[in-house]
Copies of this chain bind each other. A is one copy, B any other.
Amino acid sequence: MRLAARPTGDVKPEDWEHVSVPVDAPGPGQFAGRTRVISLDPAMRGWLDDRPSYLPPVGLGEVMRAGSVIEVTASNHPGFQPGDHVVGTFGVQEHVVSDGKGALKIDTSLAPPSTYLGALGMSGMTAYFGLLDVGALKEGETVVVSGAAGAVGTTVGQIAKVKGCRVIGIAGGPEKCAVLTDELGFDAAIDYRAGDVKRALREQTPDGIDVYFDNVGGDILDAALTRLAMHARVVICGAISQYNNATPVKGPSNYMSLLVRRARMEGFVVFDYAKRYAQAAQEIAGWIGEGRLKVKEHVVKGTVDDFPETLHMLFRGQNVGKLVLELA
C-alpha cells in the first residue's frame, strides 16, 4: 500500500494506491517473509504530512510505514530461518524483503504475534517509558490518562495500577469506560462524550492530578490542566484529536497552570529508549504472566486493501486496545 497523495484533514481512499509488483527473492544477507499482522497507530497520521518531525514523512509513492510481524519464507541471513516470526518496521505490504536491520525474532509460543506490536511492542514501550521515565511516577500518586481505551492508554493505566497509583481513564462512550473499570482495574473512567470533563475530573481527582498522560490534546488536555497537583507532570505522547485538523492545532489555553502548579509538560519519542526495550518488555511480560496486566487487542482480519479503512477506525475511536490488521 503506497502513499499516493498528501492528505488534508481526513485521509481519503484516493490518497492510497495499491500496487502489485513481482515478489523479490532475498539477495545476499537478506531474508524474505510474508506479513502476518500489521500495527495501526495514531502516529501514522503525522507521518503522512510533509513537515519536520521525529521521523521523515512517508514519501509519495513509497510503501506506507508500519510496524508488523512477518513469517520468514526464505533466508540468506544467518540470523533468520524460514518459519521464524520477526517483528520490525516492514510497512504495509504482503511480502517483505529485509536485511534484518531493526528486525527482531519473536517467540510466538509466549504470546501471539499481535502482542509483539501491542503490549510487548511499541505501544507497551510507549506506555512504559512515558509513564515511568518521563512521568516519573511515584507510588500513591493520581494518574489520569486520555485515550485510555487505546493501545497505549490501556497499558498506561494498568502499569500505574501495578505501581500502586489511583488511575482515572478518559475515553469515549460507556462501553469503553466499562472495560476500563470492570475489566482493567481502573479506579474510575470518564466518558468525554457524556458531558463536562472538567467537572468529572474535579470529582474524581480531589487531590489533583500528579501525572497526566496525554494521547489526545485539544479540550481534554485543557481540562486536565485545570486539575494539576503541585509539581505535576504532563506527559505529551500524542494529540489524536488534532491530527486530522486542516486548521491550526488548538494550543492548551490553560498552560499557565504549569506556573501556578510548578508543573512541567514534557514530550518524548519512544525510539530514544530502544536500548531499554528488552528490559521493559520482560517486565511487562512478567505482569501479563501474573495476571496484573491484561492485553486488550482489536484484531481486524483482511488484506492490505483493508488498511485505509482500518486506519480510519483509530480516528473514529472504534477500537478498544491495540488495533491490528491480520492478514489471512
* Chain A residues at the B interface, C-beta cutoff of 8 Å: 52-54, 217, 222, 236-239, 242, 248-269, 272
Contacts and interface: CB of A to CB of B under 8 A. Distances in A.
A236 B260 CA distance: 10
Given A251-B251, A251-B255, A267 B260 contact: yes
Contacts of A263: 266-267
Given A258-B267, A259-B236, A268-B262, A253 B251 contact: yes
B256 A262 contact: no
Contacts of A254: 249, 251
Nearest to A259: B267
A262 B267 contact: yes
12 contacts: A53-B260, A249-B253, A251-B253, A255-B255, A258-B267, A259-B269, A262-B269, A262-B272, A263-B266, A264-B266, A264-B267, A265-B265
How many protomers of this protein does the assembly include? 2
Contact of A255 (B54, B262, B265): B265
B265 A266 contact: yes
Given A251-B252, A252-B255, 16 more contacts: A52-B260, A54-B259, A54-B260, A217-B256, A222-B251, A236-B256, A249-B253, A250-B251, A251-B251, A252-B252, A259-B269, A260-B269, A261-B267, A262-B267, A264-B265, A265-B266
Nearest to A272: B262
Of A54, A248, A250, A255, chain B has the most CB atoms within 10 Å of the CB of A255
A266 B258 contact: yes
A236 B234 CA distance: 14
Contact of A250 (B242, B249, B253, B259): B253
A89 to B, nearest CB: 19
Nearest to A252: B251
A252 B250 CA distance: 8
B264 A259 contact: no
B249 A256 contact: yes
Of A54, A254, A258, A264, chain B has the most CB atoms within 10 Å of the CB of A264
Of A248, A251, A252, chain B has the most CB atoms within 10 Å of the CB of A251
A2 B110 CA distance: 72
A84 to B, nearest CB: 34
Contacts of A52: 260
A248 B253 contact: yes
A269 to B, nearest CB: 6
Contact of A256 (B253, B259, B267): B267
Contacts of A252: 251-252, 255
Nearest to A258: B267
A264 to B, nearest CB: 4
Nearest to A261: B267
Contacts of A239: 256
A226 to B, nearest CB: 9
A239 B252 CA distance: 14
A265 B259 contact: no
A198 B266 CA distance: 22
Contacts of A265: 255, 258, 264-266
Given A249-B254, A250-B253, A266-B265, A259 B272 contact: no
